[in-house]
Amino acid sequence: MAAYTGVDSDAEVIAAARQNLAGSPAAVKLLAGDGREILAGMQQAVDIIWMGMLLHHFPREEKAGLFVLARAALRPGGVLLVHDPLPNDGESAEDYWARFGREIETHWLELRPEERRVLLDRWGWQGRQDTVDVVEGLAREAGFANVLRRRVDAAGFMYSFDLRPDPRGTSGNVSAGITPDRRSVRWRNCGSCSFQNRCTIGPERMPPAANGLRPLESRHDLARCSATGAH
The pLDDT of residue 129 is 82
Strand order in the sheet with 3-8: 27-32, 3-8, 183-187, 46-52, 74-85, 158-164, 146-151
Q: Average pLDDT over the chain, rounded to whole?
A: 75
Grade residue 65 by pLDDT with cuts at 50, 70 and 90. very high
Most confident region among 109-113, 119-123, 219-223 by mean pLDDT: 109-113
Report if residue 92 sits inside a domain.
Answer: yes
Domain holding 175, by residue range, is: 3-221
- The mean pLDDT value for 67-76 works out to 94
Report if residue 231 sits inside a domain.
Answer: no
Q: Answer with the residue of higher pLDDT: 216 or 95.
A: 95
Q: Roughly how many angstroms between the first and final C-alpha of the chain, as a whole number?
A: 9
103 CB-side CA count, 13 A: 17
Report whether pLDDT(63) > 90. yes
Grade residue 193 by pLDDT with cuts at 50, 70 and 90. very low
Report if residue 228 sits inside a domain.
Answer: no
What span, in angstroms and rounded, lies between the C-alpha atoms of 100 and 15? 32
Grade residue 148 by pLDDT with cuts at 50, 70 and 90. very high
Report if residue 58 sits inside a domain.
Answer: yes
CB atoms closer than 10 angstroms to residue 22: 9
What confidence tens digit (pLDDT) does each residue in 195-211 have?
222 222 233 333 333 33
Give the total number of structural domains in the chain.
1
Q: Are strands 158-164 and 27-32 parallel, antiparallel or unpaired?
A: unpaired
Most confident region among 2-6, 165-169, 226-230 by mean pLDDT: 2-6
The pLDDT of residue 100 is 87
Report whether pLDDT(14) > 60. yes
The pLDDT of residue 43 is 86
Report if residue 229 sits inside a domain.
Answer: no
The pLDDT of residue 125 is 67
The pLDDT of residue 35 is 86
Report if residue 230 sits inside a domain.
Answer: no
What span, in angstroms and rounded, lies between the C-alpha atoms of 38 and 188? 12
pLDDT-above-70 percentage for the chain: 70
The pLDDT of residue 101 is 87
Most confident region among 158-162, 167-171, 219-223 by mean pLDDT: 158-162
Q: What is the CA radius of gyration of the chain?
A: 18
Report if residue 151 sits inside a domain.
Answer: yes
Report if residue 106 sits inside a domain.
Answer: yes
- pTM for the model: 0.72
CATH code of residue 157: 3.40.50.150
Q: Answer with the residue of higher pLDDT: 77 or 223.
A: 77
What confidence tens digit (pLDDT) does each residue in 17-38 have?
999 889 888 899 999 888 888 8
